[in-house]
Chain A
Amino acid sequence: MHTWSYIYLYLVGGLFYAIGSYLCIRAEMIDLKASQDRRMFYATTASLILFAVVHGYFQLVLPYGTGAP
């Protein structure tokens, strides 16, 4: 059930993130033609993905091993 917690977090949470991003892009508040907006949006999304990967390591891999982080 710990694995399901991780999947639920990033699946349902990711859905909210994706819908919010889509609405902002459609309203041109994330203007992907403007470099400042584009960089900020991509940096935020990349940070979330990196965060999810590290979170996944701590949730899905590390607790089952014997060594320290």
Chain B
Amino acid sequence: MGGIQLTNLDVVLIIAYVIAIYGFGLYFARHTKSTTDYFFSGRKFAWWIIAFSMIASIVGSYSFIKYSAAGFTYGLSSSMSYLNDWFFMPLWMFGWLPIMYYARIVSVPEYFERRFDRKTRLMALIFISLYLVGYIGINFYTLGVALNTLLGLDTFVAAALVSVGTAIYVFSGGQTAVIMTDLLQGVVLLAAGLAIFILGFDYLGGGSLLAGIENFWNGLPQSHRFMLADFNQPSKFHFVGVFWQDAIAGSIAVYFFNQGILMRFLALKSVHEGRKAIVASLVVLFPLAVLAVGNAGWLGAAMHNLGMIPEAYANPNPKDVFVVVTKILVQPGLFGLVMAALLAALMSSTDTLINATSAVVVNDILKPFAWPGRSDEEYLKLARWISVVAAGVGLSLVPLYMSFKSIYLAHATFVATITPPMAVCVIMGFVWKRMTANAAFWTLLGGGFAVGFSIFVPDVITPFAHGVSDEGGFKYMRALYGLVVSGVIGVVVTLITSPKKSDEEIKGLTLSSLKQAEQDFKGAVPVNKKVGRVVKLQVQVVPPQPDNGLSLHPDDLAVMSADVGDMIYVADGRWYLGGLRAAHAVVTSSDGEQGVVKIPSNIVHENNLLPEKGVRVEKLL
């Protein structure tokens, strides 16, 4: 399949897009003054920024190719992976997110040390590091393959160009640059994907959208019209396997121990904002994303069935269907937007992984082991350079993936191997206070070994297979086997060993002690759960105060349902900045003028507040 000839307009659009993204990322670099800023953006963003940027991070460059191929082959059921993340949400929203947020934990390995012990942390660190670096390489590799297929560019050169650019803005701006660029990239990739869908209807309807929708539906083979695949066949793609591998193990992996996604949610202004972000993603953004990345395959299937694929592209290979449909539908000029969307999908996934790798190296290797006791400035400088090294290591894997497909497969196998034991360990660890450090360690090691063993002896999965044929080596059903075996190890070892840590030492790290963590996060004053309103106030800058607190008028506090001692959130008066200029603070007095908040100058400067723009203030706890 030859590449597509770019017009001048396409080239201009792509170059303009790349410059805009890099400029956008570099612009926000000035907001990064500490490692907390670099990794967590100062914990201040609004839910809608995080929701959009998370979608961009989850949609990878391979998504358009992979889901179009699945959509062409299996129909609407290719959407299953994007629409089945609901079932662990109560535990995540009301359990795991508050634990990580209130205990100020910055990584899953750190959680494992505080909850269990150091050797469990090291085991998790090894798993997560290999997972992250391998995935950076895979993202570069898949983008290179996509650009090679679409444009005929050399795979490595394409990957190198994008990796250098991505590394530059992550180096400079850290998490703030990642979030703000991903917000823009999320919009672009959704817009481009949905534009292809609309153009497809237009093509199928001969210029009429409504007729196009009718023809699209009638053109889809009946077997392609189901949102969920057949229960247990074919062995390559069936419902029950995708359920256990993706809806259960995969969802736990993404939301509970994917370091990049975790950091994204820790950048929010509050736990409540995190809950809003995830519900908005599940209800609106994921369905939009699945339409964006999968529609080319569905359109291709309908066109193929209706005989509307031009002779030159007849009987396309599923892996080429995205290119074929794009060639048929997209006019010169608009193609630049599609390429921008592919770049957006790549950069937004990779920048997240690079920043996450840097966080793991600094917080889990340098600070506790290799280089402890240094200043935050030194760690920040290192964090920036580690981002560059992570991008370089990821890029260096591209030739390996190109030469040895087995390495690519080995990484996929490795991820499948570590996911079930990690999932069991995380969930059991925070839900079951009794779980011991030995149980956690042996769940990781024994569960990983058991899953690895099943790759060589797939017959052990048969009892869990739900009637799925073993033709594909139980690729999907391995997850259920791994979850059960890891769960049994976790329970048995817990019951025969004793916890090393007292209840006091793990306070705030398990579900049953979480209420105390919320209180500890706030400080001495009891948590205020009354619901108030956001107030818009003018700012009076005052000299730094010994208590570093804010002063508001009693009437303004009453509107916010806040009291002296409560934790509040102060953000730039322009809501559309989404918390870019914002701070957490404590109300220490109520002697201000009505409509005015007194803010110490150090808080104004450290958080980039602009007093002349006013502030929006709300009570958090």
Contacts and interface: CB of A to CB of B under 8 A. Distances in A.
Interface string A54-69: 0100110011001111
A10 to B, nearest CB: 9
B213 A20 contact: no
B514 interface: yes
Interface string A13-31: 1101100110110011111
Given A30-B94, A44-B93, A47-B279, A14 B243 contact: no
A20 B84 contact: no
Interface string B212-230: 0110111000100111111
> Among B239, B247, B272, B282, which residue has the most Cβ atoms of chain A within 10 A?
B239
Nearest to B220: A63
A20 B93 CA distance: 10
Contacts of A27: 95, 511-512, 514-515
B232 interface: yes
A48 B87 CA distance: 9
Contacts of B514: 27, 29
B515 A28 contact: yes
Contact of B95 (A24, A47, A51): A24
Given A23-B91, A29-B511, A69-B213, A9 B243 contact: yes
B213 A68 contact: yes
A33 B226 CA distance: 41
A41 B89 CA distance: 10
Contact of B87 (A1, A16, A36, A43): A16
B283 interface: yes
B511 A8 contact: no
Interface residues of B, number: 46
Interface in B310-327: none
Interface in A29-55: 29-31, 34-37, 40-41, 43-44, 47-48, 50-51, 55
Nearest to A63: B225
Given A34-B529, A47-B283, A16 B88 contact: yes
Contacts of A16: 87-88, 248
B84 A2 contact: no
B393 interface: no
B272 A13 contact: no
A9 B239 contact: yes
Given A9-B239, A13-B86, A51-B282, A20 B91 contact: yes
B531 A35 contact: yes
A45 to B, nearest CB: 8
Interface of A is mostly: helix
B508 to A, nearest CB: 12
A1 B77 CA distance: 13
B240 interface: yes
Given A23-B511, A29-B95, A36-B531, A58 B227 contact: yes
Contact of B83 (A29, A30, A55): A55
Contacts of A68: 213-214, 216-218
A14 B89 CA distance: 11
Given A59-B227, A63-B225, A69-B217, A41 B247 contact: no
Contact of A44 (B76, B90, B231, B232): B90
* Residue among B94, B225, B239, B514 with the highest chain A CB neighbour number at 10 A: B94
A8 B86 contact: no
B90 A31 contact: no
Contact of B222 (A24, A34, A63): A63
B236 interface: no
Q: Which residue among A14, A29, A35, A50 has the maximum number of chain B CB atoms within 10 Å of its CB?
A: A29
Contacts of B83: 51, 55
A8 to B, nearest CB: 7
B90 A17 contact: yes
A57 to B, nearest CB: 9
A41 B8 CA distance: 52
A30 B514 CA distance: 11
Given A43-B279, A44-B279, A59 B228 contact: yes
A67 to B, nearest CB: 7
Contacts of A63: 222, 225-226
18 contacts: A1-B232, A5-B230, A8-B243, A9-B84, A17-B86, A17-B87, A17-B90, A20-B95, A27-B515, A29-B515, A34-B529, A36-B272, A37-B529, A41-B90, A50-B283, A58-B76, A59-B228, A68-B217
Q: Please provide the 8 A-B residue pairs with the shortest distance between their CB atoms, ordered closest to farther.
A: A68-B217, A63-B225, A20-B90, A20-B91, A5-B239, A5-B228, A13-B87, A24-B94
Given A59-B227, A69-B213, 12 more contacts: A1-B231, A1-B232, A16-B88, A20-B87, A23-B511, A24-B90, A24-B94, A29-B98, A36-B529, A40-B275, A43-B279, A66-B218
